[in-house]
Amino acid sequence: MFSRFKTPAAGAAKPAAKMVPVGAAQAAPAPVAAKAPAPAAAKPLPRNPAEAAVADKERKRKERLQDLKVELHKRLLEDLNLAALEKASEGQLKSEIAAISAEALDDMAVVLSGPDRATLNQELYDEVMGLGPLEPLLKDDTISDILVNGPQRIFVERGGKLQLSDVTFKDERHLLRIIDKIVSAVGRRVDESNPYCDARLADGSRFNCMVPPVAVDGSLVSIRKFKKDKLAIKDLVAFGAFTEEMALYLEAAVSTRLNVIVSGGTGSGKTTTLNALSSFIDNTERVLTIEDTAELQLQQIHVGRMESRPANVEGKGAVTQRDCLRNALRMRPDRIIVGETRGEEVIDMLQAMNTGHDGSMTTIHANNPRDGISRLENMVAMAGIDMPLKAMRSQISSAVNLIVQASRLQDGSRRMTSITEITGMEGEVISMQEIFRYERLGLAPDGKIIGRFNATGVRSHYSDRFKQWGFHLPPSIYEPIA
């Protein structure tokens, strides 16, 4: 299956650099050379000379393996039959990489231990078929976000907390090569003239990058990992995100086709909440989803998914969320779900909610329900719609029925901190009433927040609607804890 040969690109002196966008490759070396020592200096010093010696020995071992990996990667590009890679199985490819690696190490008179050799072969496989140093992080199910601040500082989020990983790239050029591999797979590019890009990895993870010269200290990469297993309502209740009473209320709200907005900050769990709420949608309904990066995992039978598209190199061919939303209105949807509303598409979203597409849902960035309403007003204003404030608020109050507030607390936990109904207008002010809230009671010695979910004692404005649709919620769910 494999035949060893040299191609013009692979036989060049620096094959890795060939994969990097020209502008980015020229801009990268200066900041990297200046900033490379910083991460090592930032690490705490060992407490005694013995620890210092062990740490120094481990550092040199890793540097040696990195240098070997760069050299062996060059040889792999020269010797592997790249055209046959797609047809080869994982076992065949790993076997061929191990053979080429062993031959190269013999030529260089380098002796490695069994574990180091296995690590090196796996990293070479990741370089050829995957995303290099990022592969182990992408495979780690405990990690939700990967944040790269230059080649030497890669942070991960576990359990809502950021921590510095021990994964590094060889240098800025290595990082740029992996970035170029990701964006070129989706037909995009990054360089000096176009220094940032949004993309989606093969597994559905959301990817964003920004390269020098805009990224001053080295390329910046952010990956929001795609969760293969969709969390159901019962899972979120078990995790303590909200209570069974709140879930009962939300089931009635979604099933009776209230228009819902999930509000929250970055990383607060908006998309997870939206996915969970969508589980209450009946299979007989036609649902259309519109997103910038497809992340929603709806389980209904009749789902049409749409994704916006940026402009090409010539500045043409862009398809915005608003374009998708306008077209969706002509596709006989029962419900429309917009992954995130953050621009002029808010006009079409509100109109859809007001014109027979009850039960539509979206997310917005806001810190609390009242701020969420203000954010909607601001988006309408920024869309260039000249509308009196009272008319704008009347449009919002008649379109939106419910705001679900998701928050990430300082201990890393995610909670549904408020469920608030919009009940209409009082003069020029949108009237709202909170049904459930999360009350913080204190802080545990380990830094965990102590709190509880509680009803406010206010009966739902939509109780009669719930009964008409066959949802008879017990009055006790609205009773606050004494």
* pLDDT for res 42: 46
Question: Tokens standing for 13?
Answer: 């002196």
Question: Tokens standing for 116?
Answer: 């180091």
Most confident of 55-64, 105-114, 195-204: 195-204
Residue 364 in contact with residue 341, Cβ under 8 Å?
yes
| Domains along the sequence of the chain with CATH | 15-224 (3.30.450.90), 233-478 (3.40.50.300)
Range with the poorest average pLDDT among 103-112, 339-348, 390-399:
103-112
Question: Residue 171: which pLDDT band, with cuts at 50, 70 and 90?
Answer: confident
Of 191, 195, 221, nearest to 24 by C-alpha is 191
Is pLDDT at 277 greater than 60 in this prediction? Answer: yes
Residue 357 in contact with residue 335, Cβ under 8 Å?
yes
Question: Residue 19: which pLDDT band, with cuts at 50, 70 and 90?
Answer: very low
* pLDDT for res 92: 74
Of 226, 165, 230, nearest to 199 by C-alpha is 226
| Residue pointed to by tokens 């008179």 | 109
| Encoded amino acid at 163, one letter | Q
Residue 146 in contact with residue 138, Cβ under 8 Å?
yes
| Encoded amino acid at 437, one letter | R
Question: Residue 7: which pLDDT band, with cuts at 50, 70 and 90?
Answer: very low
Of 269, 304, 277, 307, nearest to 291 by C-alpha is 307
What DSSP designation does 274 have?
A: H
Range with the poorest average pLDDT among 4-13, 74-83, 168-177:
4-13
Cα separation, 118 vs 65, in Å, equals 11
Is pLDDT at 275 greater than 70 in this prediction? Answer: yes
Residue 305 in contact with residue 289, Cβ under 8 Å?
yes
Cα separation, 198 vs 179, in Å, equals 11
For the stretch 241-271, pLDDT in tens is 999 999 999 999 999 999 999 999 988 889 8
Give residue 203's region: left, alpha or beta (phi > 0; psi -120 to 50).
alpha
Is pLDDT at 37 greater than 50 in this prediction? Answer: no
* pLDDT for res 81: 60
The residues, ordered by sequence, that sit 6+ positions from 65 with a Cβ below 8 Å of its Cβ are 116, 119, 120, 123
- Across 225-348, the runs of DSSP E, i.e. the strands, are 260-264, 287-291, 303-307, 335-338
What DSSP designation does 132 have?
A: G
The pTM (predicted TM-score) of the whole model is 0.73
Cα separation, 92 vs 96, in Å, equals 6
Burial status of residue 25 (CB atoms within 10 A of its CB: 0-12, 13-18, 19 or more): buried
Is pLDDT at 4 greater than 50 in this prediction? Answer: no
* pLDDT for res 159: 80
